[in-house]
Amino acid sequence: MLNRRTLLTATAGALAAPAVARAQETPGVTASEIRIGNTMPYSGPASAYGSIGRSHQHFFRMINDQGGIAGRKINFITYDDGYSPPKTVEQTRRLVEQDKVAFLFNPLGTASNSAILRYVNQRKVPHLFLSTGADKWGNYQDTPWTIGWQPSYRTEAQIYMKHMLEQRPNAKLALLYQNDDFGKDYVTGVRDILGSRFDSIVRTVSHEATDPTIDSQVVSLQSSGADVLLTATTPKFAAQTIRRVADVGWKPLHYLTNVSISVGTVMEPAGPERGIGIITSAYLKDPTDPGWANDAGMNQWRAFMQKYIPDGDMKDGSFPFAFGVASTLMQVLKQCEGNFSRESIMRQAANIKALEVPTLLPGILVNTAPDNFHPIRHMQLQKWSGTTWERFGGVIEGAKV
């Protein structure tokens, strides 16, 4: 009985732990610290992305070791939301109301961020550099406190279209997309570039994420007589598409969303030789690419990994991503010059000028303005050689819309 009682007391104690929070003028900023809030799926279906949050914790530890920012240490508070939107709402309210963070940085997930979008904008809490590729985070008119980071799916589609029009001005395009937010962003991007020509040169076919195969979609696209194919779908269907296109003897110029370019889950299952010539895009330096062995930016990242996350998987692309987005945040905080009010932080987040980030491809710069909430708008194309993705050509900018 003693054990039982002790455990119960301990639990009761943990439950009753008082919430200490001091009222102050600028929430989360004192003379000695800045509090930053974040939510991540450390558990649940997307827990593989938890390494982004892990990287951030160590990144800010590094910043503190180097003396912090404007004389203040960074207190990075990150909570698990299990990739569940109601949990994200709960954890975000805990961050804002109880922990009194100055702002939110890099919360992950499209649905999770959608769930807190209105809350943070009503409360005017900066909601910076989200980990999601949806296009709506660039909507500076309606949600002025929210800004994305990575190139949106829409920007990516614009870049493919620019390249296509350059290569084949009289192309007929077949567009295969998954019928959800993700897939529809590509349709919007294609329309941005083609405009009134969209209806005459594009044949679109969609599929559901729950469909067993997309064989019939591929056949109907082929019969439309198109000579270019843009595949905007998730890995399983991308592998099926590559295989099916090769099997029916169709040889279009094939663009593939960079969501589905994993060698292990797409290219190998599809058959590496079937995919030769497929074009996709990139904006981050691939940690497995031997071309970056002596790159200054990647060396900086590797030094950070060795010192602060020695057991981290050096092949995991989440780490260079996290390093890049955290570096962008440091630039914003530097530009604040000690004025860490929420207005000032948001003003500087929308005032980044041609920032070079160590883990972004050369020539891809971070730019924001009060009327540009898409920090990364450039990408470089890469082609499947049968064994790896090989970058080619210069960086291409998405359309200004």
Q: Which residues bind another protein (CB under 8 A)?
A: 3-4, 7-8, 11, 14-15, 19, 21, 42-45, 53-54, 78-80, 82-86, 89-90, 93-94, 97-98, 110-112, 114-115, 118-119, 179-181, 208-210
Q: How far is the CB of 221 from another protein (least distance, A)?
A: 19
CA distance 141 to 135: 14
Instruction: Tell me whether residue 89 or residue 355 sits nearer to another protein (CB atom).
Output: 89
CA distance 387 to 275: 10
CA distance 94 to 35: 13
Beta bridge partners of 173: 202, 228
Q: How far is the CB of 143 from another protein (least distance, A)?
A: 12
Angle value at C-alpha 281, between 279 and 286, nearest 5 degrees? 115
Q: How far is the CB of 41 from another protein (least distance, A)?
A: 11
Q: Is the dihedral of CA 348, 350, 351, 354 positive or negative?
A: positive
Q: How far is the CB of 352 from another protein (least distance, A)?
A: 28
Instruction: Tell me whether residue 104 or residue 226 sits nearer to another protein (CB atom).
Output: 104
The beta-strand segments (E) located in 82-170 are 103-105, 127-128, 146-147
Instruction: Tell me whether residue 209 or residue 248 sits nearer to another protein (CB atom).
Output: 209
List the one residue out of 319, 312, 315 whose CA is nearest residue 56: 319
Tokens read off for 232: 């905007």
Maximum Cα interatomic distance, the chain, rounded to a whole number of Å: 82
Tell me the CA distances in angstroms from 258 to 153, 261, 277, one per residue in order. Answer: 9, 5, 14
- H-helix or E-strand spanning residue 36: strand 33-40
CA distance 144 to 350: 10
Q: How far is the CB of 234 from another protein (least distance, A)?
A: 12
Q: How far is the CB of 211 from another protein (least distance, A)?
A: 11
Q: How far is the CB of 283 from another protein (least distance, A)?
A: 24
Instruction: Tell me whether residue 95 or residue 350 sits nearer to another protein (CB atom).
Output: 95
Radius of gyration of the chain (CA): 23
**CB–CB of 221/203 below 8 Å?**
yes
Instruction: Tell me whether residue 115 or residue 346 sits nearer to another protein (CB atom).
Output: 115
Q: How far is the CB of 24 from another protein (least distance, A)?
A: 15
Q: How far is the CB of 201 from another protein (least distance, A)?
A: 25
Tokens read off for 129: 């550099």
Instruction: Tell me whether residue 180 or residue 215 sits nearer to another protein (CB atom).
Output: 180
**CB–CB of 156/396 below 8 Å?**
no
CA distance 184 to 204: 11
